[in-house]
Amino acid sequence: MIKQLSPRLIFIISIVIFGAVMRLIPHWPNFTPIAAIALFGGTYFTKKYLAFIIPFAALLVSDLIIGFHNSMIAVYASFAIVVILGFYLRKNVNAGSILAASVGSSIVFFLITNFAAWLGNPLYPQSFIGLLESYTAGLIFFNNGSYGISFFLNSILGGIFFNIVFFGSFYLAQQKFPVLAKA
């Protein structure tokens, strides 16, 4: 599978594993590194299949510990889309593009997972209006202050925070250790 584990590849894998471990530490709801793991993996794994396999494996292992839920398919689908977004980020990795991709990743996650929450749910009419009701409810979910700012904004802030940590750590490590730079 992986013929040579270069220092660069080991470091990238380590960041992804660190992200998966961070999911296990108590945190505000949705203030997680899920989207950041996918975006970082999609950006820096040079082989596209590794960009999917390694972050998905890390996510799956952490889900085995946390537990599964009925919207796992939506979470993993949004995760895959964010990995693909990382492929496009490869061409222009800078603070502005990482910030835009981070916010975009959170929006993709929100739209897909709330669509899944609406689909077939008897709480919402199965119409465009019902879908909008689901998105509105998702925006205000857990918005009582004890869970951070809000479920949706926690996702955005968590994505930005973890992308700063992942991309920033990798950037600084590349400056200190040139062997980590792309060959």
Average pLDDT across the chain, whole number: 87
pLDDT 10s digits, 91-148: 999 999 999 999 999 889 889 988 998 998 899 999 999 999 888 887 766 455 555 5
Residue among 5, 109, 21 nearest 58 (CA) = 21
* Torsions phi, psi for 105 (to 5 deg): -60, -45
For residue 100, which amino acid is it? A
What gap in Å lies between CA 110 and CA 138, rounded to an integer?
8
Other CB atoms within 10 A of residue 55 CB: 29
**Confidence (pTM):** 0.87
* Torsions phi, psi for 5 (to 5 deg): -90, 95
Amino acid 97: pLDDT: 96
Amino acid 141: pLDDT: 60
pLDDT 10s digits, 157-174: 889 999 999 999 999 999
What gap in Å lies between CA 43 and CA 40, rounded to an integer?
5
